[in-house]
Amino acid sequence: MINKPVKVLCIGGSDSGGGAGIQADLKAVHACGCYGMSVITALTAQNSIGVQGIFPVTAVFVRKQLSSVLEDIGADAVKTGMIWKLGVVGVVAEKIKEYKIKKLVVDPVMVAKGGSVLMEDSTTQALVKKLLPLALVVTPNIPEAEILAKMRIKSVRDMKMAAKVIFSLGLKNVVIKGGHLEKSKKTGSVDILYNGKEYHELHADWINTKNTHGTGCTFASVLAAGLGQGKDVLNAAQFAKIMVTKAIKNSVSLGKGHGTVNMFP
């Protein structure tokens, strides 16, 4: 039994279908041997087909959740996911600074697997201005990177260009996940890590499955857990790539749409 586990706080939306969001975050953190905590920013009515509804949590109550956890338990690393409302971004940034959180992973969740928008435009702007500069690592997928970098991404070369643009927003490390690239089905999945000085390519074989719900949440949460355990950014990202690849291989078919990755085969 672990007497003093590494503590990882996951901030994001609840997925009623259990495949992504806070549910995926906590599974991933637990699979890494860490202790997971949560701050809910929104409730979703969600299943394998898509998102049927979103009920946002007020900024006042998000602040209360953050204070409750961080004042008493603390956190070795923090991961943020879905943030629906503008005011919540400011509250999260405020608490990150107040409690001097250095190991922050921001997954800029903007669009769900089924295409539903999970972040308002004004919230995106606030995220870029207030929260991204506080992050140790930011982990957009290609559609999200296209929004942040304001460019189309069709190749690994484009991914590197976009990573450089996103880094220029005041970031420390950028990981662009390449699973959305059409070429990935032939060449394998490649993620790009850029730290302002050099690029690192994270490779994995392509797994032919539609059961990929929760990959982004899982990747960012495993990355945060790795950082909390003392890994550097590169090793934590490599660890996250390995764990997510295994979770995709062990994915489960649930419902009529996209099944979920599985951290516990």
Count of C-beta atoms within a 10 Å radius of residue 180: 15
In this predicted structure, what is the pLDDT of residue 116?
61
Residue linked to tokens 């041997």: 33
Quote the distance between the C-alpha of residue 233 and its chain's center. Answer: 15
Considering the candidates 19, 21, 216, 226, report the single residue annotated as catalytic: 216
74 assigned to active site: no
Catalytic residue (one of 44, 124, 212, 260): 212
- Which tokens go with 71? 């004042």
Q: Where are the beta strands (DSSP E) in the chain?
A: 7-15, 35-46, 51-56, 77-80, 104-106, 137-138, 174-176, 189-194, 199-204
Per-residue pLDDT of the chain (265 residues; tens, 9 = 90+): 457 899 999 999 999 999 999 999 999 999 999 999 999 999 999 999 988 999 999 999 999 999 999 999 999 999 999 998 899 999 999 999 999 999 999 999 887 665 566 677 788 889 999 999 999 999 999 999 999 999 999 999 999 999 999 999 999 999 999 987 876 677 789 999 999 999 999 999 889 889 888 999 999 999 999 999 999 999 999 999 999 999 999 988 988 989 899 998 7
Q: Which of 130, 217, 241, 245 is catalytic?
A: 217
Catalytic hit among 44, 80, 123, 215: 215
Is 212 a known active-site residue? Answer: yes
Q: 163 and 192 in contact (C-beta within 8 Å)?
A: yes
- DSSP string for residues in 34-79: -EEEEEEEEEEEE-SS-EEEEEEPPHHHHHHHHHHHHHHT--SEEE
Residue 1 pLDDT: 45
Question: Of the listed 95, 103, 130, 177, which one is catalytic?
Answer: 177
**Residue 177 is among the residues annotated as catalytic for this protein:** yes
Taking the alpha carbons of 165, 166, 168, 173 in that order, is the dihedral positive or negative? negative
Told to judge if 216 belongs to the known catalytic residues of this protein, a careful annotator would answer: yes
Distance CA 248, CA 210 (A): 9
Model confidence pTM above 0.85: yes
> Encoding tokens for residue 42?
């929104």
DSSP notation for 82-105: ---SHHHHHHHHHHHHHTT---EE
- What the block records as the tokens of 29 is 């953190």
In the prediction, which pLDDT does 182 show? 75
Q: Where are the beta strands (DSSP E) in 199-249?
A: 199-204
Q: CA-CA-CA-CA torsion for 31, 108, 63, 120, nearest 10 degrees?
A: -140
The C-alpha atoms of residue 97 and residue 112 are separated, in whole angstroms, by: 29
- Classify the phi-psi angles of 149: left when phi > 0, otherwise alpha if psi is within -120 to 50, otherwise beta: alpha
Distance between CA atoms of 161 and 107, rounded to whole angstroms? Answer: 19
Whether residue 22 contacts residue 10, with contact meaning beta carbons closer than 8 Å, is answered with: yes
Structural domains of the chain, with CATH: 7-249 (3.40.1190.20)
Catalytic: which of 17, 19, 179, 214?
214
Please enumerate in sequence order all residues whose Cβ is within 8 A of that of 157, keeping only pairs 6 or more positions apart, or say none.
none
Which residues are within 8 A (CB) of 224 and not within 5 positions of it... i.e. 6 or more apart? 8, 10, 29, 77, 78, 79, 103, 105
